[in-house]
Copies of this chain bind each other. A is one copy, B any other.
Amino acid sequence: MDDGNTIRQRFGSRVKDARKAKRLSQEGFADLCGLDRTYVGGVERGERNISLENIQKIADALGLPIAELFRFPDAE
């Protein structure tokens, strides 16, 4: 189900879109997540093979269920 865009990139851009929809800066968002800002930046750029527990932290900070972060514009 890999359309060239890796799951890291698809997840990263989904997180970035959701963060922006909440008008959160990357820094403010990282604080909310309890994660390092450079780490969050790497996730959004699709550079991180993020773990399940960090996915949960990101979903909680966005106030979204995790499933929502895997609903991609180009449905799988």
A residues neighboring B (CB under 8 Å): 1-2, 7-8, 11, 48-53, 55-56, 59-60, 65-68, 70-71, 75-76
Contact = CB atoms under 8 A, between A and B. Distances in A.
Contacts of A70: 65-67, 70
Contacts of A50: 51-52
Nearest to A43: B52
A53 B8 contact: yes
A67 B68 CA distance: 7
Contact of A52 (B1, B7, B67): B7
Contacts of A1: 56, 59-60, 65
Nearest to A1: B60
